[in-house]
Amino acid sequence: MSQYRSPSLSPPPLKRRRISQLPPTSDSPTPQTSTTSPLTSPPVNTFRILSWNINGIDAFLPARPHNQKAITTFFPPSKAPDSAPPSHNGSHKTRTQRPSLRACLLRWGWPHIVCLQEVKIARSDTRTQDLVRRIANRSTCSDFLEHGSSDDEDIDSGEHGREEGGERDSRLEYDTYFSLPLDPHNARGAHGNGRIYGVCTLVRRDLCPLAESNDDNPSRKPATTTQPVDWDLEGRVLVTVPSTPPPTTTQSRNPLAVFNIYAVNGSPRPYRDPQTGSLAGDRHAYKRRFHALLADSVRAYQRRGYSVVVAGDMNISRSAMDSYPALRTGAEHVTNRADFEARFMEKEGGLGMGDCFRVVRGERRKYTFWPRGREWGTGMDRVDLMLCSGDVVGRDGGEGDEEGSVPGRRGLGGWRLVDADILDTSEERGPSDHVPLYIDLSCVGTEGFQSEERTR
């Protein structure tokens, strides 16, 4: 089994020295700037997981923070243009076009699980958390906060969340979960406001059937669970265990655990003891400690019989083909990358996970980090990854599939990787500096994953 290796590592650089452009080759990047076609909905019995470093949720929220007046309140009101579209109650409202999380979910074919990183919400800001829960299931408009509406009057789902006849389709709605920072020394945010880091997982509600009420579950809690890990104080990890339908054949299937990860970006900045605030090394050392703790958590699930997906911004470029125009080659970055490879990718002593994009797409050059403030396509990195445990890509207990081949046999745990890609266009980047990526897994012997073709 081949593994892609490089002597260096490349998290997204704060600044990168410009070097001459690489000569065009068949492996040169091919930046896309045109609009993308929507993803087709996953076929029946296929499970879609999508990951995106959103670089702050604010752009998707109603137009202004709840504690700040809109700048337009300082000017005389102007008459709405005659061409302003009427609202659903017939009145005309002037609205600022803002990105719609709901529209993204539609364009992505209604993924079963969506892993968002770097949402930048303070742990104490429950109002913003509630807004995120709602914009996942509604379209948003700029005057929501101004009018103080709390229901469908100013946040409506349009056509995206309704069946014919106007009935809501709960399969197209999402439950929203957060892990937000509580470390007072290392995750303070600007001016100590706590708006830094943070991950958010959206789980489609058809994965959350109410468990039968019994003595062990008197409250009928959702069978799907999403929760943080106890060692993470910076809001970087959420683990979702979806309640997938039981097999309808005699072939067994492992339960699935999906890790949503915003990994530490190694740097010489100081890291402080979360309890005492005393200096405890730098962020490079803490990054490697994060690797170790995460690998232990993944291994614990595997030992309990789970197939595991690790999805998110890992702040690692695995090889030279994952950065353009060049990798960073500083000693600490080399060490960080080697640590990541040893813990997650190596079979001997490590987890032996498969890099899903490389398994499906081989040596194709596509990237996930597209920094703002520079010309599109002049500097980018593949630092967002989706990793699957060896049983999902057929590597457990044998040679398995080589990276770059289309997965040719069903994973030994009942899950099989069937597709993986990066949506590398300026449209998909949106207000972020990263683009989304996704995987599709087929699930053996089940009739539980529905196609959404009829809803599109």
Does 186 belong to an annotated binding site? no
Q: Which DSSP string corresponds to 255-307?
A: -EEEEEEE-----SSEEE-TTT--EEEEHHHHHHHHHHHHHHHHHHHHHTT-E
Residue 427 in 3-state DSSP? helix
Question: What's the order of all strands across the beta sheet hosting 46-53?
Answer: 174-179, 199-204, 113-117, 46-53, 437-443, 415-422
Does 315 belong to an annotated binding site? yes
Segment 210-219 long-range contacts (CB within 8 Å, at least 24 positions apart): 211/243
For residue 126, CA distances in Å to 95, 122, 173, 393 come to 25, 8, 20, 39
- For residue 247 the two structure tokens come to 């097999």
Q: Which DSSP string corresponds to 368-383?
A: SB--TTS-TTSSEE--
Q: Is 377 left (phi over 0), alpha (psi -120 to 50) or beta?
A: left
Cross-strand bridge partners of residue 387: 310, 355
Cross-strand bridge partners of residue 47: 441
Task: Evaluate the omega torsion of the peptide bond into residue 325 and state whether it is cis, within 30 degrees of 0.
Answer: yes
Tell me how far apart the alpha carbons of residues 416 and 411 are, in angstroms, rounded to a whole number.
5
Tell me how far apart the alpha carbons of residues 240 and 51 are, in angstroms, rounded to a whole number.
13
Cross-strand bridge partners of residue 421: 438
- For residue 212 the two structure tokens come to 């039968």
- For residue 187 the two structure tokens come to 């995750």
- For residue 238 the two structure tokens come to 């959420």
For residue 313, CA distances in Å to 236, 249, 325, 398 come to 10, 36, 20, 29
Q: Which DSSP string corresponds to 241-256?
A: E--PPPPSSSS----E
Residue 358 in 3-state DSSP? helix
Residue type, 158: G
CB atoms within 10 A of CB 409: 10
* Contact status, residue 274 vs residue 185, Cβ threshold 8 Å: yes
Binding site as annotated, residues for Mg(2+):
53, 118, 313, 315
Binding site as annotated, residues:
53, 118, 313, 315
